[in-house]
């Protein structure tokens, strides 16, 4: 099973006890537009729920196209991680997280800040140093050749592994890695992890829990 994550660096103007108390005061129940649930102070985890509306098209009995508004309840599971900096972990992040951050800003007031953490290969390098073997299986890059006034986007894929440093096609190109996917091996265990500058991380396999834990340790120790 593939698990998806995003992380955000945050600044809290109040302490965690005060935050959880304010969440409890905005506890979600039937009929509310939004609110918090499953607040676990010890694990620093909670869920945020909010309602949204979608228009569902249908054909009526006269054969005419119509639409009906359907109310849906969205749920986002969140954890707070602390180290040199404080970050929010969103597990299975939904398309829109604005309601969550608007709600956090509302209950905390002035001083709350939030910034998406963009993931790059340097975040993975320390993990790769601690495993038996690994290989880069997919990479998307964007770059430029200023002297030719060219911009380029490329994607490389290989089940056998890729080494960007040895690709002739990249010689003379100033590029950045937009996304990268790795297969990682430790003993008889195997895991896959992919990262993106959009902040999205995907992990699967028997090593997925370990890989996410290691990545989060790297993220919270960054200055």
* Residue bearing tokens 């099973």: 1
pLDDT of residue 192: 96
Q: Reply yes or no on whether the pLDDT at 148 is more than 80.
A: no
Q: Give the model's pLDDT for residue 94.
A: 92
For the segment 124-148, the average pLDDT, to the nearest whole number, is 89
Rounded Cα distance, 47 and 26, in Å:
12
Residue 217: CB atoms within 10 Å: 13
Question: In the prediction, which pLDDT does 26 show?
Answer: 93
**pTM for the whole structure:** 0.88
The mean per-residue pLDDT over the stretch 25-47 comes to 91
What's the pLDDT at 171?
83
Share above pLDDT 90 across residues of the chain, in percent, rounded to a whole number:
70
pLDDT in tens, 48-84: 999 888 887 878 777 778 887 788 889 999 999 999 9
And the tokens for 50?
């909010």
Q: Quickly state the pLDDT bin for 208 (edges 50, 70, 90).
A: very high
3-state secondary structure of 130: coil
Predicted confidence at residue 222, as pLDDT, reads: 86
Give per-residue pLDDT as tens, 151-185. Answer: 889 999 999 999 888 888 888 788 899 999 999 99
3-state secondary structure of 102: helix
The helix (run of H) or strand (run of E) holding residue 221 is: helix 208-221
């Amino acid at each position: 099973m593939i698990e998806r994550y995003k992380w955000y660096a945050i600044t809290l103007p109040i302490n965690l006890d005060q935050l959880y108390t304010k969440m409890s005061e905005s506890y979600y129940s039937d009929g509310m537009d939004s609110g918090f649930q499953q607040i676990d102070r010890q694990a620093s985890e909670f869920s945020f729920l909010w309602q949204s509306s979608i228009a569902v098209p249908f054909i009526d009995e006269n054969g005419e196209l119509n639409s009906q508004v359907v109310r849906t309840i969205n749920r986002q599971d969140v954890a707070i991680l602390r180290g040199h900096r404080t970050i929010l972990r969103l597990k299975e992040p939904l398309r829109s997280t604005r309601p969550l951050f608007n709600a956090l800003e509302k209950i905390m007031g002035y001083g709350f800040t939030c910034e998406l953490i963009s993931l790059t290969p340097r975040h993975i390098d320390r993990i790769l140093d601690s495993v038996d073997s690994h290989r880069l299986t997919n990479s998307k890059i964007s770059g430029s050749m200023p002297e030719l006034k060219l911009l380029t986007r490329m994607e490389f894929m290989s089940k056998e592994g890729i080494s960007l440093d040895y690709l002739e096609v990249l010689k003379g190109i100033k590029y950045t890695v937009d996304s990268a996917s790795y297969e990682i091996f430790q003993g008889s265990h195997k895991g896959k992890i992919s990262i993106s500058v959009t902040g999205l991380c995907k992990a699967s396999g028997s090593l997925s829990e370990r890989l996410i834990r290691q990545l989060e340790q790297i993220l919270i120790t960054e200055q």
